[in-house]
Amino acid sequence: MIKAVIILMLIMGITFGGSRRLEKGDMAPDFTLPDENESLHTLSDYRGNRVVVYFYPKDDTPGCTKEACNFRDHHETFVKQSIQVFGISYDSPESHKKFKEKYDLPFTLLSDTDKKVSKTYGAKGLFFPNRVTFLIDEQGTIVKVYEKVSVTTHGEDILRYFSSSQP
């Protein structure tokens, strides 16, 4: 029963949630959000680096945990390639902190509790953000949007994309 309710909420969020989704070629809108320690991160501070901004529904749920652990398992490669990873959900900094500690996640989780960033990126759902990922180049341009995500291979898929798109 709980599983059916969660699925219904996700479908409703996708159907009734957001605005126009940003696309490849759009400039990534700047934002400032708190992380799990309530330190603020501003996207434009990471110009010069490639950035992954991935929206996910909820901390410590099965699919979101698999996705986060896949990023964790490939974190060293992201760092070696100067790729900054940000996971964004509506969860609070406190929830993110527990999630990071429980699964030893080495990358930054950001709290979009007012849903403004999710709306700006077109990832806003009714109850949860939609699962969507934006790859951003060194100049701040969106170079790839993943609307369909395999939670078990997402980190690898992103690394493969960045490796194949290098000059």
Q: Among the options 10, 22, 33, 64, which is catalytic? A: 64
- Give the DSSP per-residue string, 60-98: TSHHHHHHHHHHHHTHHHHHHTTEEEEEEES--HHHHHH
- Give the DSSP per-residue string, 111-142: E-TT-HHHHHHT---SSS---EEEEE-TTSBE
Q: Pull the structure tokens for residue 63.
A: 């699919």
Q: Annotated catalytic, 64?
A: yes
Annotated catalytic residues are 64
